[in-house]
A and B are shown apart, each in its own frame.
Chain A
Amino acid sequence: MSQLLPSIACNLDSNILLAALPLFSSEKVQGIEWSFDTLFHLAEIPGWFEELLQTYSRANRLVGHGVFFSLFSGCWSEDQQNWLKHLKETSQKYTFDHVTEHFGFMTGANFHDGAPVPIPYTPRTLELGQDRLKRIAQTVECPVGLENLAFAYTLDEVKRHGDFLAELLAPVNGFIILDLHNFYCHLHNFNLEFETLIAAYDLSLVREIHISGGSWEDSNVDADRKVRRDTHDDAVPAEVFDLLEKTIPRCPNLKYIVLEQLGVGLKTEAEKRSFQNDFYTLEKMIEKFNHKRETESLNNFLPPNFLKLSEPFEDLNLHQQQLALSKIIETATDTNHAQKLLSDSTLANSSWQIEKWDPVMLETVIQIAKKWAKSRFE
Chain B
Amino acid sequence: MKISKNLLQAILIGATLGTAASSCEMVRDNSELVHEHTEECDEKCTITSTVSARVEYDCGPCGMG
| A interface with B by C-beta (< 8 Å) | 9, 11-18, 21, 24-25, 27, 29-31, 35, 37-44, 46-49, 51-52, 55-56, 59, 61, 65, 67-68, 102, 112, 115-116, 149-151, 182, 185, 212, 214, 229-233, 260, 262-264, 267, 364, 368, 375
Chain B residue contacts of A24, Cβ below 8 A: 3, 8, 11
Across-interface contacts of A65 in B (CB, < 8 A): 61
Partner of A55, one of B7, B30, B49, B64: B7
Contact of B23 among A16, A41, A102, A212 (CB under 8 A): A16
A68 engages B53 (CB within 8 Å)? no
Q: What A residues does B47 contact at CB under 8 A?
A: 47-48, 51
What's the nearest-Cβ distance from chain B to residue A133, in Å?
19
B57 to A13, Cβ gap below 8 A? yes
The smallest beta-carbon distance between B20 and chain A, in angstroms, is: 8
- Cβ-defined contact, A48 with B7, below 8 A: yes
Is there an interface contact between A13 and B46, defined as CB atoms closer than 8 Å? Answer: no
From A11, A18, A47, A262, contact of B48 by CB (8 A): A47
Q: B46 near A29 (CB under 8 angstroms)? A: no
Contact of A27 among B1, B22, B53 (CB under 8 A): B1
Beta-carbon contact of A233 and B59 below 8 Å:
no
Taking A9-B61, A59-B1, A262-B63 as known contacts, 5 extra A-B pairs with beta carbons closer than 8 A to each other, sorted by chain A number, are A15-B22, A40-B58, A47-B49, A48-B47, A185-B65
Query: Does B14 lie within 8 Å of A68, measured CB to CB?
Result: no
Indicate if the CB atoms of B18 and A14 lie closer than 8 Å: yes
A14-B18, A46-B51, A185-B65 known; A67+B11 contact, CB < 8 A: no
Residues of A within 8 Å of B20, CB to CB, are 14
* A229 neighbours in B (Cβ, 8 Å): 63, 65
Query: What are some 28 contacts across the A-B interface (CB < 8 A)?
Result: A11-B23, A12-B53, A14-B53, A15-B19, A18-B12, A24-B8, A38-B60, A39-B58, A44-B30, A46-B14, A47-B50, A48-B50, A48-B51, A49-B11, A49-B53, A51-B10, A52-B3, A55-B1, A61-B1, A68-B60, A150-B65, A229-B65, A230-B63, A232-B62, A232-B63, A262-B62, A267-B22, A375-B59
A42 — which chain B residues lie within 8 A by C-beta?
55-56
Chain B residues whose C-beta falls within 8 Å of the C-beta of A35 in the assembled complex: 60-61
Q: Which 6 A-B pairs have the closest CB atoms?
A: A46-B51, A232-B63, A231-B63, A48-B10, A67-B60, A38-B60
Residue among B4, B19, B51 with the most chain A CB within 10 A?
A: B51
Establish whether residues A260 and B61, one from each chain, have CB atoms under 8 Å apart when the complex forms: yes
Residues 1-44 of B, flagged 1 when their CB comes within 8 A of A and 0 if not, give: 11110011011111110111111100000100001000000000
Residues on B with beta carbons closer than 8 Å to the beta carbon of A29: 1
Q: Which residue of B lies closest to A106 (CB)?
A: B64
Contact status of A230 and B64, CB under 8 A, knowing A18-B15, A263-B23: yes
| Alpha-carbon gap, A12 to B16, bound state (A) | 12
Question: Are A14 and B21 interface neighbours, CB within 8 A?
Answer: yes
Are the C-beta atoms of A17 and B15 separated by less than 8 Å? yes
Question: Is the CB–CB distance between B11 and A17 below 8 Å?
Answer: yes
- Is the pair B3, A262 in contact by a Cβ cutoff of 8 Å? no
CA distance A233 to B64 in the complex (A): 11
- C-alpha gap A61/B8 in the complex (Å): 18
Alpha-carbon gap, A116 to B65, bound state (A)? 8
A231 CB contacts on chain B under 8 angstroms: 62-63, 65
Q: Would A39 and B53 count as touching, CB distance under 8 A?
A: no
Is A13 in contact with B22, judged by CB distance below 8 angstroms?
A: yes
With a cutoff of 8 Å between Cβ atoms, the chain B residues found around residue A67 in the complex are 60-61, 64
- Cα A39 to Cα B7 in complex, Å, equals 21
- Closest chain A CB from B28 CB (angstroms): 8
Q: A56 CA to B3 CA in the complex, in Å?
A: 9
- In the complex, residue of chain B having the shortest beta-carbon distance to the beta carbon of A233: B63
Instruction: For A112, give the chain B residue with the smallest CB separation.
Output: B58
